[in-house]
Amino acid sequence: MYSRTSPYTTGRPLINPPTYIEYHGLRFLIVDAPSSNNLPLYLQEFERWNVTDVVRCCEATYPKEPLNEKNIQVHDFVFVDGEAPPAPIVDAWLHLIEARFNLNNNNDDDGDDDAEKTQNGEKLPCIATHCVAGLGRAPVLVAIALIEEGMPPLDAVSFIRERRRGAINKKQLRYIETYKPRSKNKCIIC
């Protein structure tokens, strides 16, 4: 277990620790929604995991500026709580993943919790995503990324739930079960 305290606070840890998900070189951190009061704790975790982007799936609960000052881009991909993401949000999410990770040069990582992983001497990027509790909308986006990278849908749900108990509701599970990958269905011969 790693320390979850910040030198900028009273030393209290985050109530819900971040959940690290890694698969084939894709690195994600699922968290609950930071507030202005506990944002320094989250910033410490984001720095530890080399978070380059934060995706907010819920209404803003903190200002973007402290993250921008740390060279972390904030993306607002807000959609309805308990629901599946609409197509434009899925498109934006997949575009961000493609832009942030070199998907043609995957590492087939073993998924161990190593924040210091490097490639060519540089820390690998990580995308943090959150909704209110980090149990619905954020895990659904991560499941979509895992499916796009070749993981079967139900395996993606299990993979996430093993690391973040209570993630993904029944309605979202039905969506994930029927999700068709966009990037891996392209015919090379065509």
Catalytic residue among 81, 108, 109, 110: 81
What tokens does 52 get? Answer: 């380059």
Catalytic residue among 131, 155, 187, 190: 131
| CA neighbor of 28 nearest in space, from 96, 121, 105, 122 | 96
* Whether residue 58 lies in the annotated active site: no
> Do 171 and 54 meet the contact criterion of CB atoms below 8 Å apart?
no
* Whether residue 114 lies in the annotated active site: no
Buried b or exposed e, range 49-66, using 16+ CB within 10 angstroms: bbbbbbbbbbeebbeeeb
- Cα distances from 45 to residues 6, 18, 48, 98, in angstroms, run 9, 8, 5, 23
Active-site amino acid positions: 81, 131
